[in-house]
Every structure is written in C-alpha cells, then in structure tokens.
Structure 1
Amino acid sequence: MNYAVIGAGAVGSFIGGLLQHAGRSVTFIARGSHLEAMKEEGLTVERDEQTFTVDREFSSDMHDISSADTWILGVKGTEMASIIEKVKPYLNKDTRIITLQNGVSNEEQLSGAFGKDKIIPASAYLSASIREPGKVAQHGPHKFHLGALDRDNNQLLENIVDEWKAAGISCVRSEDIMAKKWEKSLWNLTFNPLSAITGAKVSDLLDDPLLRNTCDSVLKEAALISEKKGYPVSEKSAGNVFKSAETVRNHKTSMLQDFEKGKPMEVYPLCGYFVEKSKELGIETPVLTTLYNILEFINKENVEKNREGR
C-alpha cells in the first residue's frame, strides 16, 4: 500500500515514520516548523531504545496525496470539515481513509462525505509528542485498534494490520470498532472538558473531592448516552475509566494542552456531540451540558485572544 499521512503531527508522524522505515511509500502532509525541519533534515523517530530517521516525502500540498491509496487522517476534529473539502478532488475508487481522531463524530462526517466503504476507524492508545520540529518521541507501550464500517473492507483491513505489525506498530483488528471508540470516549468525556475549564491535571481531578464528584457525574451521564446509542457500559468498563486514569496521573489532557497553546480545542468532538445526542435521545445531562456551555465560551475567547496577539 502507498500511504499519505494527512496532518503529520506526533501520532501521524510516528505511524508514517515506522511504515516508511519498514520500506513502505509514505507522503507526509504537514505545516509550520515541523514541516520545514523534516524537509531539511528528515523525520527522526525516537521510541524507547530505537532512533531512526526517514528522509521523504514531506509536503504541504494536498495534490501530493493523489498517488496514495491509503490515507491516514491525523488532523484534529476541529479541522475535519475543511479537510474533507481539501481532499475531495483526490479521492478515487481505491482510496481508503484511516481515521485517528478522538471522539465518535468524525466517522459520521467522513461517511456522509465519502461513504462508509471508504472509512477505516482507528482508536489510538499511546503517548507521543513532537519533541522539537522534525523529531517525534514515543515511549512506553502503544496500541492501535482498527476496524471496518463496511464488511467488504475486511480483507483490506487484515492487510493493513499485517503491514502495520510488520513495521513494528502494535495493532489489532476490532470486530466492533465503534464500540471501542465509544469506550475510549468515556475517558475523554470524563476528564477532558473539566480539565480544560479548571487547568487541572488528571491527578487533580482524581484527588480533589469536588472535582472527582463532577467527573463521576459526567461519566454517569456519558454512560446513559452510550447505552441509548447501542453501546452499553458495563460496571467494569466504567471502573476502568478511573483505573486507567490512575496510570497517567501527571498527564495534561489533550484539550488542556490545546488551550494552553492557544489552539482551538476539540469542544464539539469531545463534548458537544454528546450533548447534541443527549437532546436527540431525550436524556437529561445537566453536568455535561453546563461544561459544554462554559467550554464554548472559553474556546471562543481563547482563540480570539491568540488571533489578535493579545
């Protein structure tokens, strides 16, 4: 397969770097200082005791994805609508799109634009960062769950999983990938919105009684939405949300990191979508709705402030 990583940030660069290091053809679509550094010195990937550099192909021109049959979307959910319009001209009958975004709304957008048969949802479990422009670091265990929305893609999915494994990427095929993504969304919904509003790390949310109580309330509301959507939440799954949080106590959530950098937060994919669905389903979600309303205001003010350079 020929790959194009569209939005080559930390996770996309990690995947693409390993695939190219293993001999696959990969085009990296990026921007800013990360792109410029890769053009000049290649992409360096650091993982535990292994470090290597790949030296092609790096671009900001969407036309360069036209030779790829497998696109890996690494953009934020906030960019999904604009990315769909940008890639449309280069889609053909053989193109498949692997989605790495958090949340469960992106698959709906992509399926609506391109059809379910084009979409391969993925759920990522890893810690990766751009250590400096052109250099990506990933340490500790990682795993990707990949699944198909269309049964006709099952063989293709097997081929992707095999290629990724051969490249040293830990991944598994999921028979119900959307259930897996809903499960991960419980974690994001429980911790991301509140951390962005308060500036709290995961440890603060776990240890402060009032914040912990708020997290409990959000999780209960999220579980009601998930169950109504056809993805029941077991007592064990609910417990795992807090259990897994204990393993990343010093972590700043992605939404908080975006806020601190002055970037648009993924308010709709990680919070607003679920509020919208709760209204459609007739479910009362007072805590989640309150957090969403506050986040929308904070996000707008933060983006405007950074746009004006204040």
Structure 2
Amino acid sequence: MRYVIIGAGAVGGTIGVRLAEAGRDVTLVARGAHLDVIRERGLTLRQPDSEVTARLAATDGPGDEPLPADTVLVLTVKSQDTAGALAAWVDAPVAGGGTAGERLPLVTAQNGVANERAALRLFADVHPVCVWLPATHLDPGVVVANGYPHPGMLQIGRYPGGADDTDRVIAADLDAAGFVAPVRADVMRWKYGKLLSNLGNGLQALLGGDIPDELAERVRAEGVAALAAAGIACTTPEEEKVERGDLVGQRPVDGEARSGGSTWQSLARGTGSTEVDHLNGEVALLGRLHGVPTPANVAVQRAVRRAVRERVGAGAFPLAELEKLIA
C-alpha cells in the first residue's frame, strides 16, 4: 500500500512519519508554512524516546499524474476541513482508469462521527478510525507525540459497519509502524465513545487545565443522554480503559508534558476555526432531533466560536462568561 496523508498535523504527521520509518511509501499533504518547511527540511517527529526528521514527498493537493491503484487516502484534517478535502480529492484520476472516489479506500482518522457519512456521499470505500493518539502540532515542520510505549491506538473498520481485507492490510502496516491497530467490525461504536471524551476538548481550549469537575460531568452527561435518546451505542470509559491498558500512555518530550488537545491547539495557533461544532455540536444536533436539552454543550460551542472571533488565547476564556452562556 502507498499512503497519502491528507493533513500532516499532529495525528497525520505522526502516522505519516511512523509509516515511512517502517518502510511504507508516504506522501504528506499540508499547506502554508508547514508545507514549506516539510519541503525544505523535512517533518520532525519528537517522541519521548527519540527524534526523527523524515524527508518525505509533500504536496498541497492532487497533482496532474494519476494516483497509483494501490494508494490509500488517509484523511486526518480536522472535521471542519473535511468537506474541502473530500472535494479536492474525490475526482483525482487513478492509474488504469476511474477516480479516487470510485476506486481508492478513504481512511477517516479524525475526531467526531460526521466525517464518515460525508465521505460516503463521495467515496465508495470508507474506513473509520477511532484515534487515541496524544500529539501536538504548533510549529511548522514539527510534531510532538507523547504516546508511550506505543504512539497511539488506531482502531479501524468499515463504514457503516463490518471489516474487510483492506482493514487488515492497513492495520498490519500500522502495527509495523509501532501503533496498536485492532480491526473492529463495530468501529463506530468506539468512535461514539471517543466523541463523549472529546466533549471536554472545548472546555480545555476555553479554560485550560482549570475545569470544574461538575462542568465537565455536565457536558458529558448531556452527550450520554443524547446518544441514548438517539439509540446510538457507544463504548464506556471502563471498556476503553481496559482496551488501552498500559499500551498507550503519555510521557513528557524533552521534559515537557503535552500542551493541550486538538481544540486547544487550534486556539493556540490562531487557525481561525475549530472542530467544536462537530464535537459538542454533534450532541446539540442529536439533542434537538430527539428532544434532549443540551445547554452546556451549546454554550461551549458559542464560547469557542467567540474565542476564535475575538482571538482569545487558549485557556484564557473567563469561566464566569461561560457560566452565563450556560444559564
């Protein structure tokens, strides 16, 4: 398999460099200063016990040449960028005829649960991944991955359900790259469980590490109630803890712990958008569809959007203002 990593940030950069170090053919897709540095100096992956700079092929989108027929497209952009990425790649030609949307597997290694449905509108062969991979991308050309002893757990299956030989081949390549990569026929159940965990991403982005327990519990409880009302199955924290065990923990890199999660990183980098409307917003959507109040999740959405508009720094949103929005 050849891998095109669409979004060489924290998750995509870690996956791409590790696959390349395991001898797989990898092309990174990035943009702006990050792409410039990768082209000039390579992508540096800093980990608890090593640092490597990989000189990999890098591009900002599909080229004029047809993609090899054994290519796997790995979508690792944040959910708010999914539509643009799908549109850019769906009609890319494939050697031997046809397009990427018709012939190539698309792996959605992303937070949230809406990417797969959006992808299936355009791509015939969609493979969700439940991503447990603690990594950070703040500076161009650098990704810091704190996962240890394995860099991450990447559970893969097919959408809407089941698993096939493509999943097993990709999982074997991920295993060879040092990840824990179980094949799951019920991978979306794991992704919905991960969604509940990700509901705290917005709180962390707003408040930093000083999150009141009762607020975190309320945000999650609304998510649990919304999924239950919708009849959507999800994993439990206890089940997830047993699955991860001691396989994927976190260790400092160069004496520094991980700064913050994906939404925190978006605010810290000033990217101008976040994935909050695809995380807490998913709970708000389900709540509205099934008659479940979700005021805390809606407030987190509003507060994060305000933080983006007003350029509020990561962790610097006033708790009192968030509480007003909830009330």
Q: Which runs of 5+ in 2 are unaligned?
A: 93-99, 243-248, 252-256, 313-327
Task: Indicate whether 1:265 and 2:267 are aligned.
Answer: no
Deviations 1:245-275 (A, max 9, x none): x989975332233123222111211111220
Q: What TM-score comes out, normalization by structure 1 length? A: 0.82
The aligned counterpart of 2:323 is none
Match of 2:193 among 169, 172, 183: 183
TM-score (norm 2): 0.78
Which piece of structure 1 moves more, 60-69 or 219-228? 60-69
What is aligned with 1:106?
A: 115
CA contact (8 A) 1:45 1:136 kept: yes
Q: Is the 8 A contact 2:227 2:286 kept in 1?
A: no
1:137 alignment partner, SS class: strand
Q: What does residue 145 of structure 2 align with?
A: 138
Instruction: Give the corresponding residue for 2:13.
Output: 13
Residue among 166, 172, 195 paired with 2:204: 195
8 Å contact kept, 1:144–1:171: yes
Aligned to 1:47: 47
Range 82-91 or range 61-70, more displaced: 61-70
SS at match of 2:112: coil
Show the counterpart of 1:61.
61
Query: How far did residue 238 of structure 1 move?
Result: 10
Displacement after TM superposition at 1:153 (Å): 5.3
Aligned length: 288
> Shift of residue 139 of structure 1?
3.0
CA distance in 1, matches of 2:282, 2:78: 15
Which residue in 1 is equivalent to 2:178? 168
Q: Deviations over 1:219-260 (max 9, x none)?
A: 1111012222321565846999xxxxx989975332233123
Equivalent residue number for residue 76 of structure 1: 78
> Residue 147 of structure 2 aligns to a residue in which SS?
coil
Match of 2:131 in 1: 124
What's 1:252 paired with? Answer: 260
SS at match of 2:208: coil
CA drift at 1:84: 1.6
Instruction: Flag the 1:95–1:148 CA change in 2: closer, same or farther, 3 A.
Output: same
Matched residue, 2:254: none
Contact in 1 for aligned 2:163/2:185 (Cα 8 Å): no
Aligned to 1:308: none
Task: Give the corresponding residue for 1:157.
Answer: 167
Deviations 1:123-155 (A, max 9, x none): 221222347433333233221111111568511
1:172-225 deviation digits (Å, cap 9, x = unpaired): 112211111111111111x1232333x222xx22xxxxx211221111111012
* Superposed displacement of residue 36, structure 1: 1.7
**Counterpart code for 1:224:** A
Give SS of 2:190's match: helix
The answer on whether the counterparts of 1:196 and 1:259 sit within 8 Å (CA) in structure 2 is yes
Superimposed CA distance per residue, residues 55-77 of structure 1 (whole angstroms, 9 cap, x where no aligned partner): 23112232278425201111111
Kindly indicate whether the alpha-carbon contact (under 8 Å) linking 1:17 and 1:54 is maintained by their aligned counterparts in 2.
yes
Question: Matches of 1:235 and 1:171 in 2, distance apart?
Answer: 19
In structure 2, relative to structure 1, the CA distance for the partners of 1:64 and 1:157 (3 Å cut) is: farther
* Change in CA separation of 1:234 and 1:301 when aligned onto 2, cut-off 3 Å: same
Task: State the distance in 2 between where 1:239 and 1:136 align.
Answer: 26
Q: Does 1:148 align with 2:149?
A: no
Q: Identify if the C-alpha distance between structure 1 residues 229 and 10 changes in structure 2 by more than 3 Å, giving closer, same or farther.
A: same
More helix by share: 1
Closer/same/farther in 2, CA of residues 66 and 179 from structure 1, 3 Å limit: farther
Aligned twin of 1:222: 223
Give the secondary structure class of the aligned counterpart of 2:28. Answer: strand
User: Identity percentage over the alignment?
Assistant: 27
AA aligned opposite 1:120:
H
Selected match of 2:298 from 279, 283, 289: 289
SS class of match (2:44) = strand
Q: Tell me, in whole angstroms, the C-alpha distance in 1 between the residues paired with 2:237 and 2:43.
A: 43
Q: Does 1:275 align with 2:284?
A: yes
Give 3-state SS (helix, strand or coil) of 2:182's partner.
strand
